Chain A
Amino acid sequence: MTEWSALLGLLDRGPGSCVTGVHTSLQPRRDDGHGWPPPSRVRVVTRFVHRPPGDWFLDHGGGDVTLDVRDPADGDGPRQGGQGLEFGPLFPWDLAPSPARLVTPVPSAALAGATCLDRPVEVRRDGRAAWAVTLGVPSLPQPLHLVVDADAGVLLSAGVPGLGYREEVTEVAFPSSVADAVFRWTDDLAAADLAHRARREAAAAHYRAASLPLPGHWPGGRRHFTPDVLEGDPDTGLLAIDLYHDGAPAGTPEMAVLIRQPPHAPPFEPGWVADPEAFVHRWRDGAWQWTLALWGRPLTPDELARVTASLPAS
């Protein structure tokens, strides 16, 4: 038996050691206010290493790495970027999920102002003893569900189930130390980055030599298209095309990316396609699953039908 105030005190103490694990976030995508496009969620997975008080190494996969390391030359000023578990006025679209929100969730105005709706319940998560607690947070329209690690002073998950938002950390470990080299840009990282770049460029060159599967119809016309290969994998058929329709007529989508994948592969969402404020349409044909990501507005159902029907047969 414990109280929320005791759990808040546990979170306030923090892990007191290094933390490694995998952070997974789910956020609902934006719709047009009328349930269109149909609901879908953005899933982002990041492997992380944290060293108190504020050093982070994040590997997002696909060659994308983030380093956030305190440099003595930076002085002792306050760090930017926000580490606590906060929720903005446009929740669930205006937050950037991050392992820091769970591993170092306090200080947090949202948690400080929260009220406990039920007594914390003992649970086990990912093999660890934990407490599940449901909170009322003034800035959230629905209850916030937290799972607090019983020993380490970190959150194992946070979510608002009714709104499709969830963050969790798994495969969590608490090593007593982590080598400095983990938080530096090393020759190994440089070599991996170079290899990723070379693979992307080779794939792009492969597909540029072929005829890209472009829609024959587009709202406002195709004359603004200057399509190019963003990513690709000739072995699987994965192909992401940036349509680059700069200067498109007012009222038409401002940016567009078309993605073709094997039918059962997990969704491939490069760059801003994984921004929950992007509008995303998904469909399948006989051979592929397709994703069309748009910025500014979605296609209407009629427009989408015309665009998908105008794609060349695969």
Chain B
Amino acid sequence: MVSRQVRTAAVAAAAVTVLAAGPAGAAGPAHRPAPPARTVGYFSYTPSAAAGTVRFFAERPLAEGVSTRLSALPDWARSQLPGRSAATPRTGTPHGYKLRRGNRSTDYVYRSADVYAIEAECGSGGCRPVQQVKVAIKEYVRGRTSKKWEITFYGSRWSGSTRFHLDYTYDCGVNIAHAPDSTCSTWRRDGAQGHGSGVAVDGQRIVKNFGSTAVVTRFPMVKLLVTFADGSRAIGDDGAAGEKFRGWDVCATRTTTRLCHRTGDGS
């Protein structure tokens, strides 16, 4: 699945030619017929045929109104351009979910740093943003004897079109010392809710049971998929569509659940 998505992005990038950086939302060359409109989620879009377009996630947005040097883009963005070699996916455990910095504000709440889904057009003069969407997650452990956490999804326009679509996938990880991490539902049957997915809306919360076994460290794993107004998707640092967020480790004794003082980061 992952390799197919990487290949698709590479083929799409190779099929276009590099254009000089143009205005946001630039369409394809005039002699090409307009692609038919399609529908993804709750909006329809017209696939962009713009050349030299890259879609990626990054810790900071691109500046508006100026060109950003290609070398300032992450590997997984540059590799989408024609003639660039594929980037080595940055995968952690399990499966590339990484802590996106952020803030553990109390013993019960962790909020990731904001991450930006960026669509940009790149030419010889650099890259200019077409559309940018700011995303993040919040992890809220109910606490005490509860075995539930809430995950809140955030997704809002940063620049460009207001039209975008947000999807999520969810899973629960078990942090096993000196061993590869596992997922809660495959590690042991103890009531943990396993994989889930769906449409995400800004501020939407999901509540999940992370399992009844005490004295085991768990963490949520969330992938946010951003579909831009033209129907394309941002690529994460593992080379696949979507950005993978690892939550803060949760420590559960027999009677008390809190965020751990320290956490693994998936690296």
Contact = CB atoms under 8 A, between A and B. Distances in A.
Interface of A: 25, 44, 46, 56, 58, 60, 64-69, 71, 79-82, 96-100, 184-185, 189-190, 193, 197, 226, 228, 246, 254-255, 269-275, 277, 295-296
A64 B147 contact: yes
B84 interface: no
A46 B106 CA distance: 26
B106 A295 contact: yes
A64 B191 contact: no
Contact of A190 (B147, B191, B205, B214): B191
Contacts of A79: 215
B190 A185 contact: yes
* Dominant secondary structure at the B interface: loop
B144 interface: yes
A228 B144 contact: no
B115 to A, nearest CB: 17
B213 interface: yes
Nearest to A69: B213
21 contacts: A44-B144, A44-B255, A58-B255, A64-B145, A65-B147, A66-B213, A68-B214, A98-B253, A100-B254, A190-B191, A193-B209, A226-B203, A255-B106, A271-B142, A272-B108, A272-B142, A272-B143, A273-B144, A274-B143, A275-B107, A275-B143
B91 interface: no
Contacts, number: 104
B138 interface: yes
Interface residues of B, number: 30
B251 to A, nearest CB: 9
7 pairs of A and B residues whose beta carbons are closest in the complex: A272-B143, A271-B142, A60-B145, A96-B256, A81-B215, A271-B143, A68-B214
B195 interface: no
Nearest to B109: A255
B254 A64 contact: no
Contacts of B144: 44, 269-275
Contact of B254 (A58, A197, A254, A273): A58
A96 B146 contact: no
A273 B145 CA distance: 11
Given A64-B147, A272-B142, A96 B191 contact: no
B254 A98 contact: yes
Contacts of B256: 96, 275
B189 interface: yes
A185 B145 contact: no
Contact of B145 (A46, A67, A226, A255): A46
B205 A98 contact: no
B255 A98 contact: yes
A71 B188 contact: yes
A58 B189 CA distance: 16
B263 interface: no
Given A97-B255, A197-B209, A274-B143, 20 more contacts: A44-B144, A44-B145, A56-B214, A60-B145, A64-B145, A65-B147, A66-B212, A66-B213, A66-B255, A68-B213, A81-B214, A81-B215, A185-B212, A193-B191, A246-B111, A254-B109, A270-B144, A272-B143, A277-B107, A295-B106
A89 B103 CA distance: 26
A296 B108 CA distance: 12
B105 interface: yes
Contacts of B189: 184-185
A82 B255 CA distance: 12
Contact of A271 (B138, B146, B190): B146
Nearest to B176: A74
B28 to A, nearest CB: 41
A254 B138 CA distance: 14
Contacts of B254: 56, 58, 66, 68, 81, 96, 98-100
A67 B109 CA distance: 24
Contacts of A246: 111, 138
Contacts of B143: 271-272, 274-275
A185 B215 contact: no
B156 to A, nearest CB: 13
Contact of A189 (B109, B111, B142, B191): B191
Contacts of A58: 145, 214, 254-255
Interface string B59-75: 00000000000000000
Contacts of A277: 107
Contacts of A295: 106, 108
Nearest to B209: A193
A270 B109 CA distance: 16
A274 B255 CA distance: 11
B220 to A, nearest CB: 16
Nearest to A48: B254
Contact of B212 (A65, A71, A197, A272): A65
Contacts of B213: 66-69
A223 B126 CA distance: 41
A19 B202 CA distance: 49
Contacts of A185: 188-191, 212
Contacts of A82: 253
A220 B127 CA distance: 42
